[in-house]
Structure 1
Amino acid sequence: MDKKETPLTALHTGATVAETYRAAFEQFPDRVALVLPDGSHWTYAGLQQRVHRMARALQALGLRHQDGLAILTGNRPEALVVLIACAWLGLRQTALHPLGALDDQAFVLQDAGIAALVVDPRYAERGQALQERGQQEGTPLRHVLSLGPSGLDDDLSAASAAHSGAALPIASRPEDIYRITYTGGTTGRPKGVVHRHRTTLTMTLQQLAGWEWPEELRFLIATPISHAGGAMVLPTLLRGGTLVLLDGYQPERFLQAVQQHRITATFLVPTQIYGLLDHPGLDHWDRSSLRYVLYGASPMAPARLAEAIQRFGPLFGQLYGQAEAPMTISYLRKDAHDLARPERLQSCGRPLPGNQVRLLDPQGQEVATGEVGELCVRSPLVMEGYLNRPDATQEAFAGGWLHTGDMARRDEGGYLYLVDRAKDMVITGGFNVYSSEVEACLALHPAVAQSAVIGMPDAKWGEAVVALVVLKPGASATPQALMDFVHAHKGALHTPKLLRLEPQLPVTPLGKIDKKALRARFWDGQARQVG
């Protein structure tokens, strides 16, 4: 038979994200898929019908296969419908964070070739500003659409309600670009991370196989569905679970939602967990339904993690990934969160099946067990590359590996330990100081809620270790006492040369401590400015 008629590439092609959503919809049509803010709910079949209506509304606007669509919304049900409809039609989806700067958002729309922008009504003013900016700069943006009544001309929610919810053929193809995710940007403009359908499908299969889902699954999404929170949607639906969206995280609202909806699983970033631990009303709410708390996106101080296990129980599982290989590079199981083995609390777990992980030195050679090297990955999980950035892509893929930029070591049991981002390492007097080690030490002090350690210019040492510290509510400690504490536990090399007490630390839109903003205080005008 002619090879062209039955190409091997087609023989081994996987499904699309939309086909995977459809499998969930058809498997559990009568179950509750989503609880709405007013207490009502959508079934799986009802969610599917809304996706079909939304997809037809987008088609009616003239959007076609592989056009770019961006969203600027909070955690609202209609936004979830838009994201699934994008997968159905084979549109390229890109998220804008509500806290992002206008210039950065305008750059993303231009760089990703976005044809339509969908906004929450509360962001209508920003949407209009982006539309005007696009008209001035000649960008591809043709539509700015609102999810509800607003000052904008087009109400996408109303338009979709007028369309049929009958079954609609899936237009996406496995080789399509599924989404373009923009990194926060450490220096210069953010980079667009290109993912095809295989990335999300690989991530989903690894989530289902490697994570420890409770049998009765009611998942509270407390982080943006446009970012990390969205990665929890598909695996929850494939397990027949129910989603509850929290639009805007606050400890009190989170605890109320857990109690009200008998939440069994959730995902939080470390700063959110710190907020719960320091919340005076934590023990006033019923948390007995919780069976599983995933956490990740940034390192968590082991002392605070131990405190969380003591307060919540052995519910925690740590995920590790990055924008270029999302969510499932490695995983630390619940039973590895063992207070009798406190060193394990510093680990991000073992690689999940399907991933090759190596720790490489600058020459591309694997380092010995216990030695520090850059964590590098090969996997179907890895991105396609950076959009319009061939040099950056080549650098990231040097030697045939994804170079994560994370420095790590591996122990005899195969557990990985992130010691720092490569750019966060402080080189002082020719010695390497990993900021995470100093932060973990400070977290052992009973007065410390959280800290950030950076390097600042120093004429003698090249860089000096600086610590910015937030104290727990009602606690007190002097900078000198905290510096002495580090000296006693870690020695002179790791002891900050400067320690400042701060009312709070700046965070990125995704809830990570913003070390770029902190460095700007000390590196302004200096030659070595890193992100």
Structure 2
Amino acid sequence: MDITAELEREFGNWPGIVAAWGTLQPDAIALDDGYHRISWGALSGQVDRIAAQLIADGLQRGQAVAILGTTGIPYALAYLAAIRAGGCAAPLTTSATPRQLANMLADSGAIHLFIDGDKRAELLASGVDLGTARHVMLDAAAGETPSLSEWMAPEGSVPDIAPPQPGDAFNIIYSSGTTGTPKGIVHSHAMRWRQSVAGFQAIYSEQARAILSTPLYSNTTLAVFLPTIVHGGMVRLMGKFDSGQWLNAAQAMRATHTMLVPVQYQRLMSDPAFDSHDLSSMQVKFCTSAPFSAELKAEALRRFPGGLVEIYGMTEGGVVCMLQAHNFPDKLHTVG
């Protein structure tokens, strides 16, 4: 595949591009979660192996693949493999109650649940009905339930799947459930292509180095994770947010992109060590998910290198309004 030509198309093969990066730059680092790093060659190979096993297990085109656990490399591999297999990734909210999680799993129609040990123990102890979905552990095997590395297809396996069509489901993002049971919002391949590829060549490239400290089940995180990955960049996935750890990691990796929610901007701006860190490599900072005060935006523009983009309505509409704060510093009181 000619990746450059594919990225310039009005609509293209998103999972095919991710697979092709493994051939083009096999030794470049794709993901780092603070415990392990994985190269593009290894990522492409493992995503293919997981996708091939999903299909061998009976996954149908467009069918959901549920994922529940702590953000890390195994989680990201399962998410990407679901799409590579022609399925639909369904990341489940870890903060939801066991009953809500059981309802989301049933609603998704998933026949696979990739899960880590802590969440599986919590759900089993709650006694909720988890249906018949096959469990695959994102961390260590649990009894007869295999780990991801044990379960995936043999090395060299490649899924036999036709390229996606614009209307095919890419993922299901479940709402917070503040008005009742969390509701699934389906994003198509056309929407994700528009959000992560179309017109983004000026913002992302294989030189992009994104640092993300919000969970992968959130569309907030995916809004930077997906374009960085499809453009062949590197993503640093962090666990629980800590301003000092974030600053050290961003400086060390020469981060170029990030997504932060307003409270994280506040904590970074308040950290006594903020101004002593070199963040000059930062190109674009994004913010969403909560009100972002004009005063805090102004401080971020003054002290935090790189552009600042605030987004609203991202999950339901794929971006409803946007403020490029660095281009419109007199509009900081607005949301678009």
Q: Same fold (TM over 0.5)?
A: yes
Q: Does 2:5 match 1:18?
A: no
Normalised to the residue count of structure 2, the TM-score between the two structures is 0.85
8 Å Cα contact 1:268-1:295 kept in structure 2: yes
Question: Aligned AA for 1:34?
Answer: L
Q: Deviations over 1:351-378 (max 9, x none)?
A: xxxxxxxxxxxxxxxxxxxxxxxxxxxx
- 8 Å contact kept, 2:67–2:113: yes
Report if aligned partners of 1:145, 1:153 keep a CA contact under 8 Å in 2: no
2:3 paired residue number: none
Query: Does the alignment pair 1:124 with 2:124?
Result: no
Post-superposition offset of 1:111: 1.9
Tell me the percent identity. Answer: 25
Partners of 1:163 and 1:214 in 2: CA distance: 31
Aligned residue type for 1:319 = I
Match 1:199 to one of 175, 191, 201: 191
Kindly indicate whether structure 1 or structure 2 has the higher relative contact order, using CA contacts under 8 Å at least 6 residues apart.
Answer: 2
* 2:102 equivalent to 1:106: yes
Structure 2 regions of 5+ residues with no counterpart? Answer: 1-8
Q: Is the 8 A contact 2:64 2:90 kept in 1?
A: yes
Q: Cα deviations across residues 310-339 of structure 1 (Å, max 9, x unaligned)?
A: 22145322233332212x33433353253x
- 1:120–1:148 contact (8 Å) kept in structure 2: yes
**In 2, Cα distance between the equivalents of 1:309 and 1:237?**
27
Amino acid in structure 2 at the alignment position of 1:45: G
What is the rounded CA distance, in whole Å, between the counterparts of 1:111 and 1:222 in structure 2? 28
Per the alignment, residue 224 of structure 1 pairs with 215
Change (3 A) 1:303 1:55: same
Give distance in 1, aligned partners of 2:199 and 2:211: 16
Q: Please tell me whether residue 157 in structure 1 is matched to residue 154 in structure 2.
A: no
- What pairs with 1:130-145 in structure 2 (closer than 5 Å)? 132-134=127-129, 139=131, 141-145=132-136
Paired amino acid for 2:135: V
The correspondence for 1:46, drawn from 42, 45, 53, is 42
The AA in structure 2 aligned to 1:54 is: I
Aligned equivalent of 1:309: 301
Where does residue 246 of structure 1 map in the other structure? 238
Which of 8, 29, 32 matches 1:32? 29
Q: Deviations over 1:275-303 (max 9, x none)?
A: 21222333344333323211122220001
Deviation at 1:83, TM superposition (A): 0.8
2:320 matched to 1:333?
no
1:114 alignment partner, SS class: coil
The letter of the residue matching 2:61 is H
Match of 2:332 in 1: 345
SS of the residue corresponding to residue 323 of structure 1 reads: helix
Structure 1 runs of 4+ aligned residues shifted over 6 Å read none
1:128–1:163 Cα change, 3 Å: farther
Partners of 1:144 and 1:66 lie apart in 2 by: 19
Q: CA RMSD in A?
A: 2.8
2:258 aligned with 1:266, yes or no? yes
One-letter identity of the residue aligned with 1:208 = F
Q: Which piece of structure 1 moves more, 43-52 or 274-283?
A: 274-283
Q: Tell whether the 8 Å contact from 1:89 to 1:171 is kept in structure 2 after alignment.
A: no
Distance apart, 1:264 and its partner CA: 1.9
User: Superposed, which structure 2 residues align to 1:62-461 within 5 Å?
Assistant: 62-129=58-125, 132-134=127-129, 139=131, 141-151=132-142, 153-160=144-151, 163-171=154-162, 173-174=164-165, 175-206=167-198, 208=200, 212-213=203-204, 216-227=207-218, 228-326=220-318, 328-333=319-324, 335-338=326-329, 341=330, 344-348=331-335, 416=336
State the alpha-carbon separation in 2 of the partners of residues 296 and 94 from structure 1: 21
CA distance in 2, matches of 1:230, 1:260: 23
- Aligned partners of 2:245 and 2:20: how far apart in 1? 33
Out of 59-68 and 107-116, give the one that drifted further: 59-68
Could you tell me which amino acid in structure 1 is paired with residue 261 of structure 2? V
Tell me how far 1:203 sits from its aligned partner: 1.2
For 1:244, the aligned partner's letter is R
Q: Distance in 1 between matches of 2:135 and 2:185?
A: 23
Stretches of structure 1 that go unaligned for 5 or more consecutive residues are 1-11, 349-415, 417-531
Match of 2:150, SS state, is helix
8 Å contact kept, 1:214–1:264: no
Name the CA distance, whole Å, in 2 between partners of 1:16 and 1:197. 9
Kept in 2, the 8 Å contact 1:270–1:295? The answer is yes
How far apart in 1 are the matches of 2:314 and 2:224? 15
Q: Report if aligned partners of 2:171, 2:186 keep a CA contact under 8 Å in 1.
A: yes
